[in-house]
Amino acid sequence: MTISLTDQTHTNLLKTIEYKASVYAKTTSPDQKKELGQFFTDYHIADYMANLFSFNMPKAKTIEILDCGAGHGILSISLLNILIQKSYTKFDLTLYEIDPGVLQDLHQNLLSYKKEHPHITLNYRVIEKNFILDPIESKFDLIISNPPYFKLKKESPEAKAMIHLVHGQPNIYMLFMAKSADLLKETGEMVFITPRSFTSGAYFKRFREYLLDAVSLDHIHIFNTRREHFKNESILQETIITKFSKQDNPNITITSSEDSTFSYIEELSTTKDLVVEKYRNIICIPSSADDLEILDLFHTAPSTLQDLGYKISTGKVVTFRNKELLSTTPQSLFDKEKEYCPLLWMHNFKNDDLLFPLDHKKEQYIEFSDRSKALLIPTQNYLLIKRFSSKEQHRRINIGYLYKKDLSSSYVGLENHLNYLYRNDRELTSQEMKKLGSFLISAEVDKYFRILNGNTQVNAADILNLPVPPELYKG
Ligand SMILES: C[S@@+](CC[C@H](N)C(=O)[O-])C[C@H]1O[C@@H](n2cnc3c(N)ncnc32)[C@H](O)[C@@H]1O
């Protein structure tokens, strides 16, 4: 798909708005940016987003548009440009913006646009109120938004206003998306640019369920490089563009580009069933035919690791909180009576081996006493899984094998960056450990995990809900 703006004046206008926004961004403090979640869209992205709508409304219709968190209006104006190119002439535009500092530019940009386009009917209103808290009666044909992003306290008025979506600490952008979904007309569509975080993760589960029930996800665009998509801002969040429509659509298009210049776009179409994982409504983002095969393999698997009876828990030793219980030596220099047991970190596991004790600056032992007992677990066979890894790493799932036979103590402490896999009904056998381990570090699981999870965490729930294709789980 190549998208080009034929009208040079339109491009120039968008560039001017982008420039004004960048000048404004330089004058605002990092605190204000954070408080308002203010990161302005560059004109390439604005243009790309505006082009994603379907434009199948009757040409004579007055198109009702909403831009929530409008900033300098770059998204609305990009959309008006495209609509005019497609021969629409009547528009009713509503913009929400709470930062008084941008309002003058916003009004000026809209006014100049109206003056420059005397042949169109453009009614616009800028509502200087909080989009989440303002009761809105109207419904819209098209909603376009780069909403603010920041974490909200659970007791904030915004979180309270949409408490039905909140689980853990909400981010304001998801409230913008959910409220917009409610404001669409029956044939309406919305396009958002947001962090990728909502597509997976337990905190967003309730929101995903709500959103995917209210609207149909028709298009996802991802950027292959984590370069800055917002000029003048160093946001290293993975960012995606999504298009939703009120009408149900069984298919989805996924596009990707190297960066926000969209110089080369790859496109993939598939069924939504393949992309939305059914256990937790996780939105997977495949970017090649190979990825689609992987999704098919995993999403048709008969059971997950949880279905097979496995459990997972997190290592309980948070070292900075339990400093007084830890030691670098197996005995206390001051109290010979004190008993110690091993404290294992990920660095204690290399390939298939446990390396303990290690010559390492980190503490290797934890006190074995009544005050530490709650942090320890009985020494058994466990499969350990590192809780954090990044996209850039060779493997997203990093494991270690802990065999009972390798430790002489009957208890062991596991550092908090580790999860451990076990069963409640019996101990894992050595053969089973190898089978599980080979499955988890297989190239297929790595590919699946990368499609599924865009953040740096490898959560317990991600592992437990991992579908187990029988062809990969042998031995
Ligand atoms: C990420 S910026 C995007 C601005 C502009 N749409 C763009 O794409 O360049 C989000 C904007 O939302 C505004 N905003 C933040 N919280 C808001 C709220 N509760 N209601 C309305 N606007 C809000 C901010 O001041 C900021 O201008």
Q: 245-294: per-residue pLDDT in tens?
A: 999 999 999 999 988 889 899 999 999 989 998 778 889 999 889 999 99
Asked if 131 contacts 157 with a C-beta cutoff of 8 angstroms, the reply is no
Bridge-partner residues for 93, per DSSP?
65, 124
Q: Is 56 helix (H, G, I), strand (E, B) or coil?
A: coil
Ligand 1, atom nearest to 97 Cα: 22
DSSP state of 61: S
Q: What is the mean pLDDT of residues 89-103?
A: 97
In sequence order, which residues have a C-beta less than 8 Å from that of residue 464 and are 6 or more positions away? 304, 305, 306, 310, 311, 312
Q: Label the pairing between strands 140-145 and 184-195.
A: parallel
Radius of gyration over every alpha carbon of the chain, rounded to an integer in angstroms: 26
pLDDT above 70: residue 383: yes
CA distance 387 to 365: 21
CATH for 8-287?
3.40.50.150
Nearest residue (CA) to ligand 1, atom 12:
69
Asked if 403 contacts 430 with a C-beta cutoff of 8 angstroms, the reply is yes
What CATH topology corresponds to 310-472?
Adenine-n6-DNA-methyltransferase TaqI; Chain A, domain 2 (3.90.220)
Structure tokens at 376: 């320890």
In the prediction, which pLDDT does 119 show? 94
Report the range of poorest mean pLDDT among 59-73, 382-396, 458-472. 382-396
In the prediction, which pLDDT does 454 show? 66
Ligand 1 binding pocket mutation candidate from 109, 131, 143, 233 (most atoms within 8 A of CB): 131
Centre of ligand 1 from the C-alpha of residue 146, in Å: 7
In the prediction, which pLDDT does 333 show? 66
Residues 309-323 as b/e (b if ≥16 CB within 10 A, e otherwise) read ebebebbbbebeebe
Q: What is the mean pLDDT of residues 54-65?
A: 97
Which of 33, 9, 7, 8 is closest to 21 using CA atoms? 33
Location of structure tokens 């035919």: 289
Q: pLDDT confidence of 5, banded at 50, 70, 90?
A: very low
E strands in 232-371: 239-245, 251-257, 265-271, 276-277, 282-283, 310-314, 326-327, 340-344, 349-350, 353-354, 365-367
Mean pLDDT of the chain: 91
Q: What angle do CA 437, 443, 447 make, to 5 degrees?
A: 115
For the chain, the domains span 8-287, 310-472
365: Cβ below 6 Å to ligand 1? no
Residues 234-257 as b/e (b if ≥16 CB within 10 A, e otherwise) read eeebbbbbbbbbbeebeebbbbbb
305: Cβ below 6 Å to ligand 1? no
- What confidence tens digit (pLDDT) does each residue in 315-373 have? 999 999 999 999 888 876 677 778 999 999 999 998 878 999 888 889 999 999 999 99
Looking at residue 40, its amino acid is: F
- What confidence tens digit (pLDDT) does each residue in 436-455 have? 999 999 999 999 988 887 66
70: Cβ below 6 Å to ligand 1? yes
Q: pLDDT confidence of 106, banded at 50, 70, 90?
A: very high
Higher-confidence residue of 418 and 390: namely 418
pLDDT above 70: residue 227: no
CA distance 342 to 379: 10
Q: What is the mean pLDDT of residues 115-128?
A: 96
Ligand 1 binding pocket mutation candidate from 16, 40, 126 (most atoms within 8 A of CB): 40
Nearest residue (CA) to ligand 1, atom 16:
36
In sequence order, which residues have a C-beta less than 8 Å from that of residue 355 and are 6 or more positions away? 347, 348, 349
Q: Label the pairing between strands 276-277 and 282-283.
A: antiparallel
Ligand 1, atom nearest to 193 Cα: 8
pLDDT above 50: residue 4: no
40: Cβ below 6 Å to ligand 1? yes
pLDDT above 60: residue 109: yes
Centre of ligand 1 from the C-alpha of residue 68, in Å: 7
Centre of ligand 1 from the C-alpha of residue 423, in Å: 48
39: Cβ below 6 Å to ligand 1? yes
In the prediction, which pLDDT does 2 show? 38
Q: Label the pairing between strands 140-145 and 62-68.
A: parallel
